C-alpha cells in the first residue's frame, strides 16, 4: 500500500500545535490559581493585623498593699553622735627641777597612784654633798653668833660700871645681829637645796591612773623633755562627742547618755558635763563632753558612739519595715487620695523597743506603706489596705 508523504507531515504538525495549546492553557490556569491563593492569604493577613490593632490587652490589676496611719505619740528625743574617749582631766607630769640622770622608774601604765607618790627618781649625789656643806655652814654661823652674843652680854654687864663705852656695846650688838643673820642665810640656803633635792623626785600631782610612761632608768632628763608620764585624774574618762550645731543647741548640761565603745556591745552610763561654747567654722560641728566612771573597758583614744537623751517629743512612730533608705537618705512611701504611691523624705531618730521615731517629714495622718516599699516606685497605682488594730 502506498502512503503519500505530504499528508503525513501535515498531520504531525497539527498534533504538535494541539499539544502546545493544551500546555499553555494549563500554565495559564496554574498562574490564575496561584494569584487567587496569594490574594486570599493577603486578605487573611490584613484581617489578622486589623483585629490585633483594634483589640487592647486587659490592664493588669493594681497590687494590694498594707498601709498604716501612725498618728503621733510621746517619744524620747535621742541624739546620736560619735567621738573619742579621753581622760576627763589628763595631767602631764615632767621634770620640775634642773633634771639629771634617772635612777629608778617606780610605776607602769595602768598603775593607780596617790597624790605626791614618787613616779621616778633622779640621781641626787651632787646635791646631797651641797646640802652637807650648807649644814656645816649653819653650824659655823651658829657658833659665831653664840660667841658674839656672849661678848655682848659681858659688855652690857660692864657698861654700868664705866669699864665699857656705849659705842663698844653698839658694835658688839651689831656683830651679834650680823652673826644671827648669817645663820638665817645658811639655813635658807640649806632649805633651798633640800627643796631642789625634793624636786628631783618626779611625783604625781594628784591621785589617778597612769596612762603613759616615756622615761627609762639611765636616761638624762630635763625641763625640755616634756611630759614623762600622763595621769588621768581619779581615773575619770569622758567621751568627746562631735555633734552638728543644730543638735548641740538642743543639749543641756546634765543630759543622760549611754556610751558604747567600738567593738563592744556593753553600754556605759554617762552625763553631759560640758558643751562646747564654739562651733568649728569648717565642719560646722561642736563638742559635747560626756563624763564616765572608770572601767577597764574604757580606753582613752578609742572610738565610741553615744545616744544622748534630750527630753521628749511628739512624733510619729513607725515599724522599721516602713522606713527605706538610699543615697539621698531615709524615706517612706505614702498613698495619696489618687491611690498612687509617692515618696516622702524623713529624718529618723534612734530605734527603740516600740519602733522608729520620725523626727521630721511626717504629720502622722498619712497612709504609710507598711512593708512592700522595696517593690514599689513613685507613681505606682495600688489598692491600700489599712492595717487592723491589734496586729
* 40 found inside a domain: no
* 298 found inside a domain: yes
pLDDT digits (tens, 9 = 90+) for 16-58: 555 666 666 777 777 777 777 877 777 777 776 655 554 555 5
CB atoms within 10 A of CB 380: 16
pTM (two decimals): 0.58
Give yes or no: residues 253 and 272 share one domain: yes
d(C-alpha 257, C-alpha 276), whole Å: 17
* 214 vs 168, more confident: 214
State the sign of the Cα–Cα–Cα–Cα dihedral 44, 49, 54, 60.
positive
* 119: nearest Cα among 197, 206, 220: 206
* 46 found inside a domain: no
Instruction: Supply the pLDDT for residue 233.
Output: 92
Burial class, 182, CB count within 10 angstroms (exposed 0-12 / middle 13-18 / buried 19+): middle
* 354: nearest Cα among 311, 301, 315, 303: 315
Q: Is the pLDDT of residue 7 over 60?
A: no
Domain final residue pick, 215, 235, 255: 235
Give yes or no: residues 252 and 152 share one domain: no
Give yes or no: residues 188 and 302 share one domain: no
Give yes or no: residues 106 and 221 share one domain: yes
* 247 found inside a domain: yes
Give yes or no: residues 130 and 108 share one domain: no
Least confident of 106-120, 143-157, 158-172: 158-172
**What's the pLDDT band for 391 if we cut at 50, 70, 90?**
very low
Burial class, 348, CB count within 10 angstroms (exposed 0-12 / middle 13-18 / buried 19+): buried
Domain final residue pick, 311, 326, 359: 311
Give yes or no: residues 335 and 378 share one domain: yes
Give yes or no: residues 227 and 94 share one domain: yes
Give yes or no: residues 331 and 220 share one domain: no
Q: Is the pLDDT of residue 329 over 60?
A: yes
* 54 found inside a domain: no
Instruction: Supply the pLDDT for residue 21.
Output: 67
- Sequence-separated (6 or more) residues with CB below 8 Å from residue 377: 341
- Given a contact cutoff of 8 angstroms between Cβ atoms, the answer to whether 97 and 196 are in contact is yes
Q: Is the pLDDT of residue 143 over 90?
A: no
Q: How many CA atoms lie within 13 A of 7 on its CB side?
A: 3
Instruction: Supply the pLDDT for residue 293.
Output: 86
**What's the pLDDT band for 147 if we cut at 50, 70, 90?**
confident
**What's the pLDDT band for 224 if we cut at 50, 70, 90?**
confident
Q: Is the pLDDT of residue 211 over 90?
A: yes
What is the phi/psi pair of residue 309, to 5°?
Answer: -80, 120
Q: What percent of the chain has pLDDT over 90?
A: 25
pLDDT digits (tens, 9 = 90+) for 254-273: 999 999 999 888 999 999 99
Q: What percent of the chain has pLDDT over 70?
A: 88
Output the domain CATH number for residue 254. 2.40.30.170
Give yes or no: residues 162 and 226 share one domain: no
* 43 found inside a domain: no
Distance set, CA 251 to CA 23, 255, 289 (Å): 109, 7, 11
Give yes or no: residues 155 and 258 share one domain: no
Distance set, CA 343 to CA 319, 322, 358 (Å): 17, 12, 15
d(C-alpha 359, C-alpha 246), whole Å: 13
Residue numbers of the domain that contains 302: 81-88+236-311
Instruction: Supply the pLDDT for residue 352.
Output: 65
* 217 found inside a domain: yes
- Given a contact cutoff of 8 angstroms between Cβ atoms, the answer to whether 276 and 288 are in contact is yes
Q: What is the 3-state secondary structure (H, E, C) of the chain?
A: CCCCHHHHHHHHHHHHHHHHHHHHHHHHHHHHHHHHHHHHHHHHHHHHHHHHHHCCCCCCCCCEEEEECCCCEEEEEEEEEEEEEEECCEEEECCCCCCEEEEEECCCCCCEECCCCEEEEECCHHHHHHHHHHHHHHHHHHHHHHHHHHHHHHHHHHHCCCCCCHHHHHHHHHHHHHHHHHHHHHHHHHHHHHHHHHHCEEECCCCEEEEEECCCCCCEECHHHCCCEEEEECCCEEEEEEEEHHHHHCCCCCCEEEEEECCCCCCEEEEEEEECCCCCCCCCEEEEEEEECCCCCCCCCCEEEEEEEEEEEEECEECHHHCEEECCEEEEEEECCCCEEEEEECEECCCCCCCEEEEECCCCCCCEECCCHHHCCCCCECEEEECCCCC
Give yes or no: residues 305 and 322 share one domain: no
Least confident of 199-213, 249-263, 270-284, 355-369: 355-369
Domains in the chain: how many in total? 5
∠ CA 124-130-133, nearest 5°, is 145
Burial of 226-236, coded b for 16+ CB within 10 Å and e otherwise, reads: eebbbbbbebb
What is the phi/psi pair of residue 299, to 5°?
Answer: -115, 125
* 9 vs 160, more confident: 160
Give yes or no: residues 370 and 248 share one domain: no
Output the domain CATH number for residue 333. 2.40.420.20
Residues in the chain: 391
Domain final residue pick, 271, 293, 311: 311
* 47 found inside a domain: no
Q: Is the pLDDT of residue 236 over 70?
A: yes
* 243 vs 51, more confident: 243
Amino acid at each position: 500500500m502506498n502512503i503519500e508523504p505530504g499528508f503525513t507531515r501535515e498531520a504531525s504538525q497539527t498534533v504538535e500545535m494541539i499539544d502546545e495549546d493544551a500546555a499553555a492553557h494549563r500554565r495559564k490556569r496554574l498562574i490564575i490559581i496561584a494569584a487567587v491563593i496569594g490574594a486570599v492569604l493577603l486578605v487573611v493577613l490584613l484581617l489578622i493585623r486589623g483585629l490585633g490593632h483594634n483589640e487592647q490587652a486587659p490592664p493588669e490589676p493594681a497590687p494590694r498593699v498594707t498601709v498604716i496611719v501612725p498618728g503621733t505619740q510621746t517619744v524620747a528625743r535621742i541624739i546620736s553622735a560619735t567621738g573619742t574617749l579621753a581622760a576627763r582631766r589628763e595631767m602631764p607630769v615632767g621634770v620640775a627641777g634642773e633634771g639629771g640622770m634617772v635612777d629608778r622608774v617606780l610605776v607602769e601604765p595602768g598603775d593607780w597612784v596617790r597624790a605626791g607618790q614618787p613616779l621616778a627618781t633622779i640621781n641626787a649625789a651632787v646635791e646631797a654633798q651641797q646640802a652637807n656643806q650648807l649644814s656645816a655652814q649653819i653650824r659655823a654661823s651658829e657658833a659665831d653668833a653664840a660667841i658674839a652674843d656672849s661678848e655682848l652680854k659681858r659688855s652690857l654687864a660692864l657698861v654700868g660700871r664705866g669699864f665699857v663705852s656705849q659705842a663698844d656695846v653698839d658694835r658688839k650688838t651689831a656683830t651679834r645681829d650680823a652673826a644671827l643673820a648669817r645663820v638665817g642665810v645658811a639655813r635658807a640656803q640649806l632649805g633651798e637645796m633640800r627643796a631642789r633635792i625634793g624636786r628631783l623626785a618626779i611625783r604625781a600631782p594628784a591621785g589617778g591612773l597612769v596612762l603613759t610612761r616615756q622615761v627609762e632608768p639611765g636616761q638624762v632628763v630635763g625641763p625640755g623633755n616634756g611630759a614623762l608620764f600622763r595621769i588621768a585624774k581619779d581615773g575619770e574618762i569622758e567621751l568627746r562627742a562631735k555633734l552638728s550645731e543644730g543638735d548641740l543647741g538642743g543639749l543641756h548640761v546634765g543630759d543622760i547618755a549611754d556610751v558604747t565603745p567600738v567593738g563592744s556591745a556593753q553600754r556605759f552610763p554617762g552625763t553631759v558635763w560640758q558643751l562646747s561654747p564654739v562651733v568649728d567654722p569648717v565642719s560646722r560641728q561642736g563638742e559635747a563632753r560626756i563624763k564616765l566612771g572608770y572601767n577597764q573597758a574604757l580606753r582613752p583614744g578609742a572610738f565610741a558612739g553615744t545616744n544622748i537623751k534630750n527630753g521628749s517629743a511628739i512624733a510619729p512612730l513607725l515599724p522599721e519595715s516602713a522606713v527605706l533608705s538610699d543615697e539621698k537618705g531615709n524615706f517612706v512611701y505614702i498613698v495619696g487620695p489618687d491611690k498612687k504611691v509617692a515618696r516622702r523624705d524623713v529624718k529618723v531618730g534612734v530605734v527603740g523597743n516600740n519602733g522608729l521615731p520620725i523626727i521630721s517629714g511626717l504629720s502622722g495622718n498619712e497612709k504609710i506603706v507598711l512593708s512592700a516599699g522595696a517593690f514599689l516606685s513613685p507613681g505606682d497605682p495600688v489598692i491600700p489596705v489599712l492595717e487592723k488594730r491589734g496586729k
